Structure 1
């Protein structure tokens, strides 16, 4: 008698309908928590970015807000106007000078202050750290009042001291030769505390036994700084350089509260120029200026990452 073998049913794991509903429910709960952030991101960040980008290719003005159907697409005309505008070119040169001199000055002063605090050269560290960092968190209006008292042409403290030794002080904020350097010094003093705190954190992360070994080998303080401190501080240098450069490329508050971009546009920045054009109702042109500035910031930051990134 020949019998057939019983059929073997493969064991295929089946997901019960209950588990599927549970998975969908968990996913729904997760998205419900994420929805407020996504909604805020779209409404307050992604949406305005998209609208401003589209605006940069139109001739939108303040008079068109109530009748947006009269707005025309102008292609790259706004961008052509930006690069052919002598006022924009003047603002771009001022911004470049502000960055090229202000960033190194801020970083050098911050690093020197951090090294002095880290090595115990300065006593009462907490007091000095607070003193250096306080201008960074102080209102720019209050800082402007102080610096106007210092740099005033007739009653300024600096010119008063120069007058005591028989030197006629210049118009620090009213002379085209000195106005931009004065704002650079003011900005470096204001941002010194931020770079100092970051550098101090980086210095304290360097193992002390490396300095002890270098001292045993007869290395001087300068050699230890150049061979140990600077290489190990490259990530911190990169961070401070990028953050400070981004802030200085957008510098607006200093000329706004101190000089209003004058005298003769000698302290006019790209951001201030965009602000002025926005005030005049040139929304399409303003959007184009903003995206040119964004592209410059991106290129500058990328170049710094290439030059200062730690070597592996």
Structure 2
């Protein structure tokens, strides 16, 4: 959901109306409801507490109005409206982009929004109603919270090292073999990082994470240049790069989930869930 602007001029431009017309409409609205929605200064505009409360309800009203249109279309056999999909950067259970391509071909009247984010952010966005369907990756001891979900797959993490790294010539390793290494990993506090931190903590091993990023390609570049090693799902590591994947006998696992709102998913969301499940079932035989 777009964030509020702090300027009537920018807000008017985003709404494709004149600034004076927008200001007049808001003033009329404030007069009608009897409260000030904005603090106004010569340099900045901010929501008042009443404005913050009004915004939350107004957004819900807009979603309900949009949903009424899509429900009516569904009754006639048409899927319309918007579909917002969130995914972690290391999905392996489903080819998300090709699924979105097929979905658009099947339902051209649906406007699609796609974002890459962490599992916590996607979960929260689904609960808020900003994301319809999410692909999550969670540690084995953590299930999705506040959303409906289904398990897609589980995958062990492997140590990814440069082909020039001394460990590259080894086969299977243990966490203790990585104790002196420098790591690239996801930001601290994210579920993607939690699974690795927990494994090392359980083993009583300290590890040094020098590079933190949600951008997996950056982590892989650091590994290729032998500046760090990283842990990633085994099925995600590309075999086209000068990298070596090492199985870890006592290493962590990652579980992927498909998640959606537990409060009446939209017709577009239901259609996407159905398509995703169908394509996942087809995968083994492709």
TM-score bracket relative to the smaller structure: under 0.3
Whichever structure has more helix as a proportion of its residues is 1
TM-score normalized with structure 2 length: 0.20
Q: Which has the higher contact order (CA 8 A, sep 6+)?
A: 1
